[in-house]
Structure 1
Amino acid sequence: MMIRKEDGAGGRYMNEFLRKHVFSKINSRVCEIELAEMEDSADFNETSVLTTDSYVVDPPVFPGGSIGSLAIFGTCNDLAVVGAEPKFMSLALVIQDGFSTEIFDRIMSDISDACGKVGVSIITGDTKVVEANVGIIANTSGIGMRNPFLDKNLEVLRSYREYPFTWVRDRGLGNGDAVILSGSIAEHGSAIMARRIGFDHGIQSDVFPVWTFVKEALSTGGISAMKDPTRGGVAAALNEMAEKSGVGIKVYEDRIPIKDEVKSFCELLGLDPLTMANEGKVVFGVIPEMADDILKALKKAGQKDAEIIGYATDEFREVVLETSAGTSRVVPQPVSDPIPRVC
């Protein structure tokens, strides 16, 4: 039996692969978050969380960004969605022999600019040049810190209901919680695919540092769960949140923001926007009493397309989509990301 690309592409196949071949061999819990819980980050003391990620995106420069900005923002976003403020990072690069120095310089400039936008410092790293046909691969690790925004959120949340976690967890949804999407979907995956096939449709990746608006939402308070819908898209994020929280989620198709050019591109290629990767969006679970306030905070922070797309329920355990036509269907966990090497 061989390892398949689907085993590392997000979705159900990757989850099954990790549980069978990785977590059965290694697992740990230093503080609250266990490795096998597959959170975006894990805490190693009361004030700090750690995350790590590898980026293999092809092409390495794409409309709206590059592997450089993606590596910085993507890692910082994993910290942000547990409520941590990104502070420190490592950067390791594996570069193919003969790789263009011009493209490399562009990538490094993007890394520098991205660090400045988030306020994060790269404090250690490594570089390897290899003969393998890899282009360029970036590995980053990030440390995020507890902060007043997180503490305010937990204070507001606990004034309405019990919340047993010290960080914002993707398993924190409760019955009746509103589900808020911070903006329009499927832009990153569409931008990568469009560039690969030479389709000039003006689609830009949404690669973006979500901490810039997450901190404003946290300071409003009432967020029970967060997830950034990267590989596997919104469909994967919603299914993970529902399964881990032990609730169902009902969402409404006509409330899910998507740009016209992205929608038409996906229809042209037969792609489901719900399963397409995003790199600058967040799915929030919010107690119903604070949903409108969180939505206002997101819009004030620049997320003009943010929308309440549904709610959590204990009436069922699936993710259910009410379509624009008035019918309902179950949205399953994707088996993998439909576009390989998208991040």
Structure 2
Amino acid sequence: MKVGKLNWDDLNELIKENKSVNRDDVRVKNGVGEDCSVIEYGEYECVVSTDPITGAESNIGRLAVHINCNDIASCGVEPVGILVTILAPEHTTMEELKNVMKEIDEETKKLNVEILGGHTEITKAVNKLIVSCTAIGKGKKGSAVATSGAKEGDDIVVTKSLAMEGTSIAVNDYYEQIKEVLSETEVTEAKEYVDSISVALEGSLAGEFGVNSMHDITEGGVLGALWEMAEASKVGFKVYEDKMPITIVTRKVCSKLNLDPLRFISSGSMLITTRNGEELVKLLQQKGINASVIGNITKSKGVLIKSNIEYEVEPPERDELFTIEEKINKL
């Protein structure tokens, strides 16, 4: 099988064939495109999500905190705690473990999220450090926003710039292959993208504004996130390539490595659908968060408009991050 997320047909089959228990107090249940489950507790509800870091070597502690807390934020609720599992190969040093935990501690401090516990193990089962976290959030009953809430006619909004996470990883882990196309200033900019991968603020603001669905953009990029949202909501979408917010640095890196920025891992960007996208964009910009309306939700079929030509968006395959090494070999 190919490296990366399981393809969506196989994943959907696994999920559907293993749902023996169906509890009434689980309001939002697992499914393709739904990153969080929501459990009702009286007047409150608990939001939970889990994800590992497998495609990066630098900043893995920081990334692990934010990709998990971003899932909670995409429900419009506050993340309150995180559980951390570290699986490390035999050659790992204590200093490396300390550095990862220091990153995790620093990022959780910024978000006011407590490290609740976890597990750390040296194992022959992995050949590089793996960090996996489970994040837990809390909100008033009925307040959590699901990925599956997108409605026909909604505007589609994305925050910040796409593929920031992928660009940061590429510059950190494959610097020798891309240094000729970037200035030192651009290299610094790319490395600093990791400082902007939290979507906690926009998640909170959008939740208060009132939106129909939210989904943080991770593996598979914006097109993968759109397909997941549409699949979960049983709708379609029409989006425009020329409206996608992509920095010059990201375009240079993707061009050099022959990567599609629309299918490149994009933690730091939130996908939001709402009846009044322009008003939401204004609100976010007032709070210092760039945002763009890139299209709208339709009745069926996902479509990307590129140079006035319609292309149907297929289910996401593995993220461009996992193709970098084989593409480098062809340079």
Q: Secondary structure at the match of 2:99?
A: helix
> Equivalent residue for 1:5?
2
Range 270-279 or range 132-141, more displaced = 132-141
Q: Does 1:319 align with 2:296?
A: no
Tell me how far apart the structure 2 counterparts of residues 22 and 313 of structure 1 sit (CA, whole Å): 26
Q: Secondary structure at the match of 2:40?
A: coil
Which residue identity is paired with 2:294? Answer: I
Tell me how far apart the structure 1 counterparts of residues 316 and 138 of structure 2 sit (CA, whole Å): 32
Q: Does 1:55 align with 2:53?
A: yes
Q: Deviations over 1:100-138 (max 9, x none)?
A: 444333322211111011111011111111234522111
Q: Secondary structure at the match of 1:58?
A: coil
Tell me how far apart the structure 2 counterparts of residues 227 and 116 of structure 1 sit (CA, whole Å): 24
**Cα distance, 1:37 vs. partner?**
4.8
Q: Does 1:87 align with 2:73?
A: no
State the TM-score, normalized to the length of structure 1. 0.82
Structure 2: gaps of 5 or more residues: 325-331
Tell me how far apart the structure 2 counterparts of residues 292 and 311 of structure 1 sit (CA, whole Å): 12
1:139 and 1:133, CA in 2 relative to 1: closer, same or farther beyond 3 A? closer
**Cα distance, 1:89 vs. partner?**
1.4
> Equivalent residue for 2:277?
291
| 8 Å CA contact retained: 1:56, 1:341 | no
1:339 and 1:208, CA in 2 relative to 1: closer, same or farther beyond 3 A? closer
> How many residue pairs are counted as aligned between the two chains?
307
1:170 and 1:255, CA in 2 relative to 1: closer, same or farther beyond 3 A? same
**Cα distance, 1:55 vs. partner?**
1.9
**1:214-293 paired onto structure 2 within 5 Å:** 214-221=203-210, 223-287=211-275, 290-293=276-279
Q: Deviations over 1:196-253 (max 9, x none)?
A: 33233312344522112221222222x1011111010101111111222222211122
1:185 to 153, 162, 165: 162
| 8 Å CA contact retained: 2:216, 2:270 | yes
| 8 Å CA contact retained: 2:157, 2:272 | yes
Which residue identity is paired with 2:236? Answer: G
Tell me how far apart the structure 2 counterparts of residues 37 and 339 of structure 1 sit (CA, whole Å): 21
Tell me how far apart the structure 1 counterparts of residues 72 and 138 of structure 2 sit (CA, whole Å): 9
| 8 Å CA contact retained: 1:82, 1:226 | yes
Q: Secondary structure at the match of 1:44?
A: strand
Q: Does 1:42 align with 2:24?
A: no
**Cα distance, 1:167 vs. partner?**
2.7
1:339 to 321, 326, 330: 321
Tell me how far apart the structure 2 counterparts of residues 253 and 90 of structure 1 sit (CA, whole Å): 38
Which residue identity is paired with 1:235? Answer: L
Q: Deviations over 1:259-295 (max 9, x none)?
A: 01111221222211110001111000011xx322211
Q: Secondary structure at the match of 1:257?
A: coil
**Cα distance, 1:38 vs. partner?**
4.7
**Cα distance, 1:34 vs. partner?**
2.1
| 8 Å CA contact retained: 1:29, 1:35 | no
Q: Secondary structure at the match of 1:339?
A: helix
Tell me how far apart the structure 2 counterparts of residues 282 and 124 of structure 1 sit (CA, whole Å): 28
1:28 and 1:84, CA in 2 relative to 1: closer, same or farther beyond 3 A? farther
2:294 to 303, 309, 316: 309
> Equivalent residue for 2:200?
211
Q: Does 1:139 align with 2:128?
A: no
**1:63-102 paired onto structure 2 within 5 Å:** 66-102=59-95
Aligned-residue sequence identity (percent) comes to: 27
